[in-house]
């Protein structure tokens, strides 16, 4: 898709759960040798839509890892690149429900950006309107952190509506949107519609991956974010 000027801090959100936020985050972490922080982790890592139906995650045993553990293992970066979650819950549920089951109340003020040098990738949980507690949504955390946002969306049927609604909400709250990352088989019609009606650049299209390791992540980064068409 060409080179994109990536800022030092990026918030990764998605049109929903399971759209590929964690793999998109891993690509950026590997390509930029960035730091990674997931403030809220609910349950174990779910299978990402960026993987083929060959069940690479199941074969690797990676379904037993949290997102942070998975990104660390796939990128091969040292532990100093990874910040602990502020909240980590046992059940793979919406954060407000998972927190209630664990007897914990999520406090928005307890989540502050870690001090770091270089790039920082922050990954949200679920989508923009996921509740954190009775009063706050993931949107409120994004407003608090004020990082430029990459919106991850699937490439297939239904994505136009979900993506345009998400972009509209972000813009109504004056949040800075870097662009959209589309995950899945290439779909030029959906990409053009999102760019036209959303007035937002699709800055990367990530096709399904047969496997994931540090080399693959770096190659995908160069191809999708650094404009290297020879990979």
Active site residues: 38
Provide the b/e sequence for 40-68 (b: ≥16 CB within 10 Å).
bbbebbeebbbbeeeebbeebebeebbbb
Please give the full DSSP string across 176-199, using - where no structure is assigned. -EEEEEEESS--HHHHHHHHHHH-
C-alpha distances out from residue 35 to 32, 68, 89, Å: 9, 11, 22
The encoded tokens of residue 35 equal: 């730091």
Q: At what angle do helices 214-224 and 21-32 cross, to 10 degrees?
A: 90
* Torsion sign across C-alpha atoms 128, 69, 92, 26: positive
Find, among 188, 214, 215, the residue nearest to 202 by Cα.
188
Task: Enumerate residues 6+ apart whose C-beta is below 8 A from 112.
Answer: none
**Count H helices, E strands: the chain?**
8, 9
| Contact (Cβ atoms closer than 8 angstroms) between residue 129 and residue 151 | no
| Contact (Cβ atoms closer than 8 angstroms) between residue 98 and residue 104 | no
Angle of CA points 22, 126, 143, to nearest 5° = 100
């Amino acid at each position: 898709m060409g080179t994109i000027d990536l800022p030092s801090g990026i918030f990764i959100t998605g049109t929903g759960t399971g759209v590929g936020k964690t793999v998109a985050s891993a690509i950026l972490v590997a390509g930029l040798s960035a730091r990674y922080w997931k403030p809220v982790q609910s349950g174990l890592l779910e299978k990402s839509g960026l993987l083929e139906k060959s069940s690479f995650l199941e074969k690797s045993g990676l379904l037993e890892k949290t997102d942070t553990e998975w990104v660390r293992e796939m990128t091969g970066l040292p532990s100093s690149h990874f910040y602990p979650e502020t909240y980590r819950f046992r059940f793979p549920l919406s954060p407000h429900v998972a927190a209630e089951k664990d007897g914990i109340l999520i406090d928005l003020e307890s989540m502050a950006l870690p001090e770091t040098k270089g790039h920082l990738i922050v990954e949200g949980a679920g989508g923009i309107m996921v509740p954190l507690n009775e009063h706050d949504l993931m949107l409120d955390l994004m407003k608090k952190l004020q990082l430029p946002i990459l919106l991850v969306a699937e490439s297939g049927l239904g994505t136009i509506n979900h993506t345009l609604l998400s972009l509209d909400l972000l813009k109504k709250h004056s949040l800075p949107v870097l662009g959209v990352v589309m995950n899945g088989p290439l779909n030029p019609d959906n990409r053009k519609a999102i760019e036209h009606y959303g007035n937002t650049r699709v800055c990367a299209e990530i096709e399904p991956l047969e496997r994931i390791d540090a080399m693959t992540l770096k190659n995908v980064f160069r191809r999708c974010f650094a404009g290297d068409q020879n990979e």
